[in-house]
C-alpha cells in the first residue's frame, strides 16, 4: 500500500516540475542581460510561488481526473494519462486535494509578498495564475481555446513575465516578446500530450483542441505553435540586438523531427519518441536562449 507521502509525491508529477526553474532561469537571464542591479533577494520567493503553483496544478489535476473517472479510462505514459497513484490508493484522494489547495495557499502568500515589494499591478498576474491553477481541469478544458492557451499563459505570461518584472523592476518590449517563447512551447507540449487521451477525455466532458477541432487541425495548430517559437527568436535576433539568439534556431531540426514522427497521431497512434522530443525541446530551447542572452551581455 502506498504511503501518504508517496501518493502526494507521485501525484505532483516531479519530472514535470523541471519546467518551473527553466522558465525562471530564462526570465532571470533576460533581466540580467538588461541590468546589473536586480532584486536577487526576491528570487527565493519567486521560486517558492512558482513551484507551489506548479505542484498545485498537478495535484488538483490528479484529484479531478480521478474523481471524474478519467484515470480509470486512460493508459499511462511518461507524458500523459496521469500518475495512477490514486488508482492504487483511492482513499488518499482527499489528501491529494487538500495538498493541492495548501500549495495554492503557499503560492498565493509568496506572491502577495512579491506584490508588496514590487507594486500592486503585479497582483493582476497573480490572480490570473491562481485562477488558471484552480479552474484548468474542472472548467477550462471544456473550451478548446482556453484549454490550449491556459498552460502557456501560466508559464509564459504569469510565471516568466512575472519573474522578469520582479527581478528587473519593469517590463521591456523584449520581455513582452520573449514571453511568447514559453507560452507557445508549453501550450504545444500540453497539446501533444492530449492526443493519446482524446477519446477518454471526451467521455468525461472535456473538449480540448483534439476533440473540438479533430486530430488533423489540432496537429496543424501544434505545428503552428512550434513555428511561432522560431519566428519569435529570429525576430529578436535581428531586431533587438541579441544577435547570438540566431544560434537557438539549431533546435529547429528537433521540432521538425518530432512533428514528422508525430504525424501518426492524426491516425490515433501514440508516438512516445515524438512526445519525448517535445519535452526535450520545451526544456532545452529556453535554457539555450537563456545561455545565449547571458553570453550577449555587453
State the average pLDDT over residues 62-88: 86
State the average pLDDT over residues 67-87: 84
Q: What is the pLDDT of residues 237-286, one digit of tens each?
A: 887 677 888 899 999 999 999 999 988 888 888 889 999 999 999 999 99
- Taking alpha carbons only, the member of 179, 189, 148, 174 closest to residue 18 is 189
* Residues 6+ away with beta carbon under 8 Å from 98: none
Q: What confidence score (pLDDT) does residue 240 get?
A: 66
* Residues 6+ away with beta carbon under 8 Å from 250: none
- Taking alpha carbons only, the member of 291, 173, 180 closest to residue 240 is 173
* Residues 6+ away with beta carbon under 8 Å from 105: none
State the cell numbers at 145: 481555446
Judge contact between 66 and 86, C-beta under 8 A. Answer: yes
Report the percentage of the chain scoring pLDDT > 90. 76
Torsion on CA atoms 235, 238, 244, 250, rounded to nearest 10 = 50
State the average pLDDT over residues 81-101: 91
Judge contact between 184 and 232, C-beta under 8 A. Answer: yes
Q: Looking at residue 145, what DSSP letter applies?
A: H
Instruction: For the chain, give every domain's residue range.
Output: 4-295
**Of the ranges 21-25, 136-140, 233-237, which is most confident?**
21-25
**pLDDT reading at 111 higher than 90:** yes
Taking CA atoms, 94 is separated from 60, 86, 130, in Å, by: 10, 10, 20
Higher pLDDT, 4 or 102: 102
Q: What confidence score (pLDDT) does residue 37 get?
A: 87
**pLDDT reading at 1 higher than 70:** no
Task: Give this prediction's pTM.
Answer: 0.94
Report the percentage of the chain scoring pLDDT > 70. 99
Sign of dihedral through CA atoms 72, 76, 79, 82? positive
Taking CA atoms, 273 is separated from 66, 77, 80, 218, in Å, by: 27, 11, 13, 19
**pLDDT reading at 130 higher than 90:** yes
Judge contact between 276 and 78, C-beta under 8 A. Answer: yes
State the cell numbers at 171: 517590463
Mean pLDDT of the chain: 93
State the cell numbers at 117: 515589494
Query: H/E element holding 192?
Result: helix 180-194
CA distance 48 to 52: 6
Q: What is the pLDDT of residues 194-227, one digit of tens each?
A: 999 999 999 999 999 999 999 999 999 999 999 9
CA distance 269 to 133: 29
Amino acid at each position: 500500500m502506498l504511503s501518504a507521502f508517496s501518493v502526494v509525491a507521485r501525484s505532483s508529477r516531479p519530472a514535470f516540475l523541471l519546467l518551473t526553474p527553466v522558465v525562471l532561469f530564462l526570465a532571470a537571464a533576460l533581466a540580467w542581460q538588461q541590468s546589473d542591479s536586480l532584486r536577487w533577494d526576491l528570487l527565493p520567493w519567486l521560486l517558492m510561488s512558482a513551484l507551489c503553483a506548479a505542484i498545485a496544478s498537478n495535484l488538483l489535476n490528479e484529484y479531478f481526473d480521478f474523481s471524474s473517472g478519467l484515470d480509470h479510462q486512460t493508459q499511462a505514459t511518461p507524458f500523459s494519462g496521469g500518475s495512477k497513484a490514486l488508482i492504487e490508493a483511492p482513499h488518499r484522494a482527499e489528501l491529494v486535494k487538500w495538498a493541492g489547495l495548501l500549495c495554492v495557499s503557499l503560492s498565493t502568500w509568496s506572491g502577495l509578498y512579491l506584490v508588496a515589494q514590487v507594486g500592486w499591478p503585479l497582483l493582476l498576474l497573480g490572480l490570473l495564475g491562481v485562477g488558471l491553477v484552480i479552474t484548468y481541469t474542472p472548467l477550462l478544458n471544456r473550451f478548446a481555446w482556453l484549454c490550449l492557451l491556459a498552460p502557456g499563459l501560466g508559464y509564459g505570461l504569469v510565471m516568466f513575465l512575472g519573474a522578469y518584472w520582479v527581478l528587473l523592476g519593469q517590463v521591456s518590449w523584449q520581455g513582452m516578446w520573449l514571453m511568447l517563447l514559453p507560452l507557445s512551447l508549453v501550450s504545444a507540449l500540453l497539446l501533444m500530450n492530449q492526443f493519446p487521451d482524446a477519446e477518454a477525455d471526451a467521455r468525461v466532458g472535456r473538449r480540448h483542441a483534439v476533440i473540438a477541432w479533430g486530430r488533423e487541425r489540432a496537429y496543424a495548430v501544434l505545428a503552428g505553435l512550434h513555428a511561432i517559437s522560431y519566428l519569435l527568436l529570429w525576430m529578436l535576433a535581428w531586431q533587438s540586438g541579441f544577435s547570438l539568439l540566431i544560434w537557438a534556431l539549431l533546435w529547429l531540426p528537433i521540432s521538425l523531427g518530432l512533428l514528422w514522427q508525430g504525424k501518426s497521431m492524426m491516425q490515433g497512434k501514440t508516438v512516445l519518441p515524438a512526445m519525448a522530443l517535445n519535452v526535450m525541446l520545451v526544456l532545452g530551447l529556453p535554457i539555450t536562449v537563456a545561455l545565449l542572452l547571458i553570453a550577449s551581455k555587453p
